Amino acid sequence: MDVLKHFCLFLLFYPLASIAQASATSSLKNFIHDARTVRATFTQSVLDKNGRTVQTGQGTMQFQRPGKFRWIYEKPYEQLIVGDGDRIWFYDRDLNQVTVRRLDLAIGSSPAALLAGDSDIEQNFELRDTGSLAGTEWLEAKPKTRDSTFEWVRLGFTPDGVLKSMELHDNFGQTTVLTFSRLERNPRLAPDLFKFTPPAGSDVISD
């Protein structure tokens, strides 16, 4: 399950009502400018280097930019990932184990920074529109730093600017594919969602 700790994914939603056929890069930049909070459900598949599915999952996600999020995996394992603005907490319920990392070190030039950061995304990523396929506009983002866990990230948007899917290719040859549904832009979220206290008796590991 280490792949879950690498990307700390944030999903996004941007209904582009006034600009039809926007490019994926434009949709991403508009999202970063406009979407302060997001709530959605997702399904996830992890593919090995030969394209075979080795893991599937599903769950829910909420975030408040910058740096606060709550990502819940319901299947196949119960796992909670919380970003409180300073640190990221990973809680594995089955193992009763918590891993905590500094936010800046954990997301750096990661997909989380690509989607949730307030800074200029092109400072950390090279962005390139890769065209349309089956009604989806695609964008490729490559981290500029060599210490990133991922080689590239692809984001797929509908022609009116709504995020449809996300693909992440890591340095081990695995590809994580996420599909989003029931997306809400700028919902009201309770502040307590982004706080985490390790359960009594849990094993806490600091990276």
pLDDT tens-digit map of 71-105? 898 887 888 989 898 898 999 999 999 999 887 76
Residue 128 covered by a domain: yes
Task: Assess whether the previous peptide bond of 143 is cis (omega < 30° from 0).
Answer: no
Report pLDDT for 110: 58
Show the domain range for 171: 2-189
- Name the average pLDDT for the chain: 82
149: CATH: 2.50.20.10
Question: Residue 7 pLDDT more than 60?
Answer: no
pLDDT tens-digit map of 160-175? 888 889 999 988 899 9
Question: Residue 202 pLDDT more than 70?
Answer: yes
- What is the 3-class SS of the chain, one letter each residue? CHHHHHHCCCCCCCCCCCCCCCCHHHHHHHHHHHCCEEEEEEEEEEECCCCCEEEEEEEEEEEECCCEEEEEEEECCCEEEEEECCEEEEEECCCCEEEEEEHHHHHCCCHHHHHHCCCCHHHCEEEEEEEEECCEEEEEEEECCCCCCEEEEEEEECCCCCEEEEEEEECCCCEEEEEEEEEEECCCCCHHHHCCCCCCCCEEEEC
Residue 27 covered by a domain: yes
> Which of the two residues, 60 and 13, has the higher pLDDT score?
60
Query: Structure pTM?
Result: 0.78
Question: Residue 50 pLDDT more than 70?
Answer: yes
Side-chain-side CA neighbours of 130 within 13 Å: the count stands at 16
Question: Residue 14 pLDDT more than 80?
Answer: no
Report pLDDT for 12: 32
Please, which pLDDT band fits residue 10 given cuts at 50, 70 and 90?
very low
> Which of the two residues, 20 and 148, has the higher pLDDT score?
148
Residue 200 covered by a domain: no
Residue 172 covered by a domain: yes
Rounded Cα distance between 55 and 112, Å, is 21
Residue 195 covered by a domain: no
Residue 203 covered by a domain: no
What integer is the mean pLDDT of 40-64? 92
Question: Residue 52 pLDDT more than 50?
Answer: yes
Number of domains present in the structure of the chain? 1
Residue 204 covered by a domain: no
Contact 13, 162 (CB under 8 A): yes
Kindly report which listed range (136-150, 162-176, 184-198) carries the lowest average pLDDT score: 136-150
Rounded Cα distance between 43 and 58, Å, is 4
Please, which pLDDT band fits residue 128 given cuts at 50, 70 and 90?
very high
Question: Residue 13 pLDDT more than 70?
Answer: no
Residue 197 covered by a domain: no
